[in-house]
Amino acid sequence: MFSARHLSRFRFHTRIRFGVLVCGLVVVAPDASAQTPSLRVTIKLRTGGALDGLVVEHSDAGLVIAHDGTPYAFAWQALEPVSAIAARRELMALSLGSDKANPFDAHDYYDLGSFALQIDASNQAIVFFRAAQVRDPALAGDIDVALATYRQRSKGARKSAAAQARGNTATEAQNTGVAADPDATSFASLLSAEPTTPLVREQVETIYRTFGETVRNVMGKKVTLIETEHFLIWTDWHQRHRDMLANVSESMYRSLCRQFGVDERENIFLAKCPVFCWKSKRQFVKFARHFDGHDGTNAIGYTRSIERNGHVHVVLLRQGSTRIDLDRFAATLVHEGTHAFLHRLHAPRLIPHWINEGLAEMMSERVLGDRSVAGEEASLLARVHVRYDWPIADLLNSTGPIGVEQYGLACSVVSYLQQLGGDRLAKMIRALKSGLSLADALAQNFDGLTLERLESDWRDWIKKTDPILNAPKPEDARLPWHD
């Protein structure tokens, strides 16, 4: 275990399961001035935790809730299915503006059924489809198509997992015969100054493998090592879920190299990057406390970096085994893996947290596409900030850790910089790593851009590109707080 003095030199980037943090933004609830009805909901998250608040935005992608003056965005997939369906149902009823006990017609039930399929609640979908078909038998054909498409998608997801498993070039090895050092309970005590030569890198890799043996001693003999070109992944997962680990890690590595102009053959890590993936909260918390002196209770993943010796490792928790659970895990892997990569890139200097988190979310969307909800949550948050003119200067000027509810906003602003030029963004990160302030690094690489102008340019960009802000009503007009 570490003393407080040690801890102060370690950095943790923790992806919080759910957290209520203050960001200094006062949300003016849209119904306060407009006197229009709006909805207060309590939602439950798949990762645990609940939140209540006023719905200030919703779309097919998700919803934004104002809680204690702070907006929180959630993709529908992030919510417990029962909770998601209840909220969606109430929002639909509200938008229909009817006093009837049951305002839904056949098409509304059909929409609810399709929505349930979107969040993998197929039993609930069938209930809604039945209600739709009773009211309008002509919908039978559409319902068949929706169910067939859903089954095809589920089958496709299973197939591609199997194909990835077959094409998986990663080797799996059980570490045997390596003498474990009983005192070697932390990477901090294992490594001294940062090694630079290939020989020393090899020694570090040996130290890592020995450490893996210690992990097996503490965490159980079921822990297996999955080795890829750039990662040493220790996990207690069952075989059928393990194959994704190597594939997602290496796709992420390639993507990060392209983003930051690093040669893929180069190894950015000290040796291979150690990653620890646990299938239960109990194991995750045990590892976090035992090896990192970190209380993992409220987290689903974290990256730990030690500036003195250049070491970095990633620890992750998988909650559940459904398609949505695995996708969420993959997104956390890419998020934390991006932090690990960024820590090693150029120099270990810390960059402003909002940029770090924004990049991590952007990479998650880039690597995983539809499997990640980072892009959807970023769009929702960006939209409410632009729609209601909520300022983002506090975020842009912040240097310390940001709340998990601000990740989407950070992602949106970083994505704005990315579309101005990925090479410019990469150069800006290099400048930050060399010790330049954000204001200087930004100005130097984006034609004298100031933080103030960044906010207004970003706002204009969202106004121009957000499909819902630009949509000439129908669907949009159903929102109760619109004229």
Which one of 11, 13, 230, 304 is in contact with Zn ion (CB under 5 A)? 13
CB of 302 to Zn ion, least distance (A): 8
Return the number of the residue (143 or 409) whose C-beta is nearest Zn ion: 409
Interatomic CA distance for residues 246 and 229, integer angstroms: 9
101 CB contacts (<8 Å, ≥6 apart)? none
* H and E: helices and strands count for the chain: 19, 11
Of the candidates 338, 335, 356, 367, the residue with the CA atom closest to the CA atom of residue 413 = 356
User: Taking the complex as a whole, how short is the minimal distance between the CB of residue 410 and Zn ion, in angstroms?
Assistant: 10
Q: Within 319-378, which residues bind Zn ion (CB under 5 A)?
A: 357, 360
Name the residue nearer to Zn ion (CB basis): 75 or 374. 374
How many Å is the Cα radius of gyration of the chain? Answer: 24
Shortest distance in whole angstroms from residue 281 CB to Zn ion = 19
Q: Which residue type does 226 have?
A: I
Candidates 13-21, 94-102, 178-186, 439-447; binding stretch for Zn ion (CB under 5 A): 13-21
- With respect to Zn ion, which residue has the nearer C-beta, 70 or 356? 356
Residue holding tokens 């969606």? Answer: 88
Which one, 132 or 252, has the nearer CB to Zn ion? 252
Pairing type for strands 50-58 and 62-67 reads: antiparallel
383 binds Zn ion (CB under 5 A): no
For 221-254, give the DSSP string: TT-EEEE-SSEEEEE---HHHHHHHHHHHHHHHH
Nearer to Zn ion, 236 or 361 (CB): 361
Q: How far is the CB of 411 from Zn ion (least distance, A)?
A: 11
Nearest approach, Cβ of residue 276 and Zn ion (Å): 17
Closest distance of CB 227 from Zn ion, Å: 25
C-alpha to C-alpha distance for 124 and 116, rounded to whole angstroms: 6
- Mask 260-289, x = binds Zn ion (CB under 5 A)? ------------------------------
**CA–CA distances in Å: residue 233 to residues 189, 223, 226, 242:** 21, 10, 5, 10
Q: How far apart are CA 251 and CA 364, in angstroms?
A: 11
Contact indicator for 381, 66 with CB cutoff of 8 Å: no
The minimum distance between CB 394 and Zn ion, in angstroms, equals: 18
Which CB atom, from 200 or from 350, has the smaller least distance to Zn ion?
A: 350
Stretch that binds Zn ion, among 9-17, 187-195, 239-247, 263-271 (CB under 5 A): 9-17
Based on CB atoms, which residue is closest to Zn ion, 69 or 403? 403
- In whole angstroms, the minimum distance from the beta carbon of 303 to Zn ion comes to 7
In residues, how long is the chain? Answer: 483
Size of the site for Zn ion (CB under 5 A): 3
Distance of closest approach, residue 352 Cβ to Zn ion, in angstroms = 13
- The secondary structure of 173-217 as a DSSP string is E---SPPP-TT---HHHH--SPP-SHHHHHHHHHHHHHHHHHHHH
Q: Are 225 and 234 in contact (CB under 8 A)?
A: yes
Whichever of 216 and 366 has its CB closer to Zn ion, that residue is 366
Residue placing its CB nearer to Zn ion in the complex, 354 or 446: 354
Residues that bind Zn ion (CB under 5 A): 13, 357, 360
